[in-house]
């Protein structure tokens, strides 16, 4: 990418800034007055307050969800971090490929540790660490690439051959190897009608591939990890399969009456067998190469399993579990033929006159220069459906995914991380690695960014995420569930998932949509900040849960509420005794059922630790939000979020950007306006909060940070020249270019843009 990449990175960042400003920013135009300590609100500020007020009074659960998500942090300064990633050159990695750089940063700030269950004492990253181990035994040529200089090549040289299945290709050897005696030679499915024997044999192969891919198997490391040889002689013959391909030159009429053999009609062509390559890699030096690259000792590798094309294992140190996914792959150039629709995305967006495009033409141009990888996954179809699954390779684009992630706004990246948290909490335990995966979630977010790029407001992220979950539910609930691949649009990423696994994901999504706040709270409280001093303060989920489950009487007079709860339900003594006896029986049954579930879970995981007492989840999943909160409950909830926003803003002064600080200061001020409107008796609370806000905002405006601004180049579809002409370049009063000039009065600038 080099310097050109950096320039393109700035270009798209400005697009993102302007799109966020148009939708989220409340820009104040107040006169500078040193003695003015009244927060002058602009028209946009008043519109935001009105919208928050409407949510609070009409849809309180959505109001709470929006505020909860604003209180959850994953980055110190996402804008600075993403710009560094954009400028960072994507170095072509020859041996291993690690695409999850952004999630490495997330894993530095948070850990996932459940509050309940057998894993409640063990923390782990939110997503496993992926590592693609690239084979150096194969050289891949494009479909039309010159093959004249391969005489001295020691590696196995292959050419990409298009497949009937979108998103899959074949690897055809340039120099065909003679088939060994006894090796089956099948007829290629696309070019002729297969004879009965070949069809049955190939169907058996396809069925074996189908069952292998859907059956996780334990992997034992015997006699240590195998070391990689320094000499590269290409792939062994066991990785090669043969197919008979009909010759193009012969004509049936010309050969009528001639004595011909099968060799006159067919060529025998050799392909790399994806299943054999997968087993060859997994049983060979795959783990040793990964361990060497990751600096992992052999004795630290635990619970190794083979799941599809991946080798999955854990390392555990100081009760910190780190899961790894090691994937054997072959590197290849970008497949232009299969990604033609992706290459024309920007042109189609231009025709629809979208103001903001994701990805932009310059991004697509950069992406298509990156390499892809070929996964030895094959196509896991059932017996008789497809005969060539064992010689097919799946196209995967980890470098392109990393590139796109670096251009996502903070709200978009935050949405992705929250969805992955929901997935890890409610879906992954039900489907393991064989259902809806994190890769599907990532791919779906790319599609959402493309379709609705500018509709990601930081302060209304709860509402946005519910819309995204509803659209995901729609995709999964079709007669034929489908999520298109972002790069190969005609490929259905769900085509190989068992329908029972999709149903489990649907059940989880439906439960989340029925009671979103409690499900979000249950998932997000499993995220633990790793650094209590140098990161933002965590949201007090326990206190919030207590506030939500309190009745109005408990806020106004807790003692009265306690007495009312203890009032007997029955006046007749016999009925009361009978009721208490039945209640005791129900409690015993529930307790025994809970203990049985925990025992089964311990046996399933092989961790029957009697010293650790089981626990019951304290989250009330049956909670139903009131249509309107009691006055005292409103006060308690508003104060809870105001206090949290002020704490985040105070910490942001020292570890994050000025823009982030101002964002949370203003969110706190918005809620004080609502608190003031609820009751005149809350005036003392409002006054104290305003004093804190004035002081904090004054400190923020005193913070001097050096900022450099590059030339603005906006690449919009509708009349770019006109849009560029309207961009103000006055650094003293610039909103478009992301600057926040120092002001003498206590005012707010750019509080709704992404951090």
| SS3 assignment for 676-736 | HHHCHHHHHHHHHHHHHHHHHHHHHHHCCCCCCCCCCCCCCCCCHHHHHHHCCCCHHHCCC
- Band the pLDDT of 533: cuts 50, 70, 90: confident
Q: What percent of the chain has pLDDT over 90?
A: 39
Of 301-315, 360-374, 697-711, least confident by mean pLDDT is 697-711
How far is 329 from 443, CA to CA, in rounded Å?
20
Residue 60 has pLDDT above 60, yes or no: yes
Dihedral sign from CA coordinates of 272, 274, 275, 279: positive
Residue 316 has pLDDT above 90, yes or no: no
Q: What per-residue confidence (pLDDT) applies to 216? A: 61
Q: Which residue has the higher pLDDT, 644 or 175?
A: 644
Determine the average pLDDT of the residues in 551-556. 66
260-315 pLDDT tens trace: 666 767 788 899 999 999 999 888 888 888 888 888 888 888 888 888 888 999 98
106-118 pLDDT tens trace: 999 999 998 877 7
Q: Which residue has the higher pLDDT, 233 or 737?
A: 233
Highest-confidence range of 212-226, 572-586, 732-746, by mean pLDDT? 572-586
Dihedral sign from CA coordinates of 554, 558, 561, 566: positive
Give the E-state strand segments of 291-370 in sequence order: 302-307, 310-317, 320-332
The closest alpha carbon to 361, from 744, 68, 8, belongs to 8
Number of H helices, E strands in the chain: 27, 16
Q: Which fold has domain 408-535?
A: Poly(a)-polymerase, middle domain (1.10.1410)
Residue 29 has pLDDT above 50, yes or no: no
Highest-confidence range of 65-69, 408-412, 674-678, by mean pLDDT? 65-69
635-661 pLDDT tens trace: 999 999 999 999 999 999 999 988 999
454-469 pLDDT tens trace: 889 999 999 999 999 9
Write out the two tokens for 532: 């209590």
How far is 1 from 9, CA to CA, in rounded Å?
10
196-209 pLDDT tens trace: 333 344 444 444 55
Residue 14 has pLDDT above 80, yes or no: no
486-501 pLDDT tens trace: 999 999 999 889 999 9
How far is 746 from 699, CA to CA, in rounded Å?
10
How far is 326 from 304, CA to CA, in rounded Å?
10
- Band the pLDDT of 121: cuts 50, 70, 90: confident
Start-end ranges of CATH 1.10.1410.40 in the chain? 408-535
Determine the average pLDDT of the residues in 470-480. 96
The closest alpha carbon to 406, from 675, 74, 78, belongs to 78
How far is 209 from 274, CA to CA, in rounded Å?
10
Residue 539 has pLDDT above 90, yes or no: yes
Q: What per-residue confidence (pLDDT) applies to 183? A: 56
Q: What per-residue confidence (pLDDT) applies to 142? A: 79
Please list the alpha-helical segments (H only) found in 285-354.
286-294, 340-343, 345-351
**pLDDT, averaged across the chain:** 77
Of 403-412, 418-427, 744-753, least confident by mean pLDDT is 744-753
Determine the average pLDDT of the residues in 712-738. 37
Q: Which residue has the higher pLDDT, 189 or 399?
A: 399
Q: Read off the DSSP letter of residue 426.
A: I
Highest-confidence range of 122-131, 237-246, 469-478, 740-749, by mean pLDDT? 469-478
Q: Read off the DSSP letter of residue 156.
A: E
The closest alpha carbon to 179, from 269, 280, 57, 283, belongs to 269
Of 515-524, 570-579, 621-630, least confident by mean pLDDT is 570-579
Q: What per-residue confidence (pLDDT) applies to 40? A: 66
- Band the pLDDT of 366: cuts 50, 70, 90: very high
Residue 258 has pLDDT above 80, yes or no: no
- Band the pLDDT of 222: cuts 50, 70, 90: very low
Q: What per-residue confidence (pLDDT) applies to 345? A: 79
């Amino acid at each position: 990418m080099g310097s050109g990449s950096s320039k393109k990175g700035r270009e798209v960042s400005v697009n993102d800034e302007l799109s966020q400003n148009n939708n989220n920013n409340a820009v104040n135009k107040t006169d500078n007055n040193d003695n003015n300590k009244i927060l002058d609100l602009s028209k946009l500020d008043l519109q935001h307050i009105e919208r928050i007020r409407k949510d609070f009074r009409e849809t309180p659960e959505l109001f709470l969800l929006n505020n909860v998500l604003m209180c959850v942090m994953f980055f110190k300064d996402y804008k600075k971090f993403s710009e560094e990633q954009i400028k960072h050159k994507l170095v072509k990695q020859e041996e291993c490929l690690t695409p999850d750089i952004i999630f490495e940063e997330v894993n530095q700030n948070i850990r996932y540790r459940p509050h309940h269950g057998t894993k409640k004492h063990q923390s782990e990253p939110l997503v496993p660490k992926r590592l693609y181990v690239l084979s150096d035994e194969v050289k891949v040529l494009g479909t039309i690439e010159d093959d004249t200089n391969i005489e001295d090549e020691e590696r196995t040289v292959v050419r990409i051959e298009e497949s009937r299945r979108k998103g899959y290709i074949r690897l055809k050897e340039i120099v065909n190897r003679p088939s060994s005696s006894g090796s089956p030679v099948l007829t290629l499915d696309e070019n002729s009608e297969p004879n009965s024997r070949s069809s049955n044999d190939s169907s058996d192969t396809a069925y074996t591939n189908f069952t292998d891919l859907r059956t996780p198997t334990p992997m034992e490391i015997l006699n240590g990890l195998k070391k990689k040889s320094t000499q590269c002689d290409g792939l062994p013959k066991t990785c090669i399969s043969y197919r008979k391909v009909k010759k193009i030159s012969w004509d049936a009429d010309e050969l009528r009456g001639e004595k011909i053999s099968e060799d006159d009609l067919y060529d025998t062509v050799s392909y790399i067998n994806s299943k054999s390559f997968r087993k060859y890699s997994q049983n060979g030096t795959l783990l040793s190469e990964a361990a060497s690259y990751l600096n992992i000792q052999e004795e630290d590798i635990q619970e190794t399993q083979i799941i599809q094309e991946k080798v999955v294992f854990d390392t555990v140190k100081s009760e910190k579990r780190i899961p790894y996914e090691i994937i054997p792959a072959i590197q290849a150039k970008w497949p232009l033929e299969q990604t033609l629709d992706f290459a024309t995305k920007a042109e189609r967006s231009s025709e629809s006159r979208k103001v903001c495009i994701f990805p932009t033409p310059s991004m697509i141009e950069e992406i298509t220069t990156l390499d892809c990888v070929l996964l030895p996954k094959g196509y896991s179809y059932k017996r008789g459906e497809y005969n060539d699954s064992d010689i097919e390779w799946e196209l995967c684009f980890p470098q392109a995914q990393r590139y796109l992630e670096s251009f996502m706004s903070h709200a978009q990246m935050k949405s992705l991380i929250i969805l992955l948290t929901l997935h890890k909490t409610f879906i992954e335990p039900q489907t393991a690695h064989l259902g809806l995966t994190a890769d599907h979630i990532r791919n779906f977010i790319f599609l959402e960014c493309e379709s609705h790029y500018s509709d990601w407001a930081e302060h209304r992220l709860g509402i946005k995420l519910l819309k995204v979950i509803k659209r995901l539910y729609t995709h999964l609930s079709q007669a034929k569930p489908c999520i298109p691949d972002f790069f190969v649009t005609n490929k259905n990423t769900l085509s190989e998932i068992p329908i029972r696994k999709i149903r489990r994901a649907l059940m989880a999504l439906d439960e989340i949509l029925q009671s979103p706040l409690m499900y979000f709270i249950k998932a997000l409280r499993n995220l633990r900040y790793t650094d209590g001093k140098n990161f933002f303060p965590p949201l007090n989920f326990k206190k919030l849960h207590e506030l939500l489950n309190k009745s109005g009487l408990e806020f106004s007079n807790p003692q009265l509420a306690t007495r009312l709860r203890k009032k007997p339900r029955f006046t007749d003594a016999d009925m009361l005794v009978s009721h208490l006896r039945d209640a005791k029986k129900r409690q015993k049954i529930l307790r025994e059922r809970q203990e049985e579930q925990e025992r089964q879970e311990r046996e399933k995981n092989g961790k029957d630790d009697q010293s650790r007492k089981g626990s019951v989840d304290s989250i009330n999943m049956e909670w139903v939000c009131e249509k309107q909160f009691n006055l005292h409950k409103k006060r308690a909830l508003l104060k809870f979020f105001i206090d949290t926003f002020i704490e985040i803003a105070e910490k942001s002064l020292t570890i994050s950007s000025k823009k982030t600080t101002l964002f949370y200061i203003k969110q706190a001020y918005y809620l004080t306006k609502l608190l003031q409107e609820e009751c005149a008796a809350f005036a003392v609370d409002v006054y104290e909060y305003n004093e804190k806000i004035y002081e904090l905002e004054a400190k923020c405006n005193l913070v001097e940070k050096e900022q450099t601004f590059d030339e603005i180049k906006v690449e919009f579809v509708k009349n770019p020249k006109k849009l560029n002409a309207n961009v103000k370049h006055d650094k003293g009063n610039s909103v478009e270019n992301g600057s926040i000039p120092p002001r003498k009065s206590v005012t707010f600038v750019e509080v709704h843009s992404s951090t």
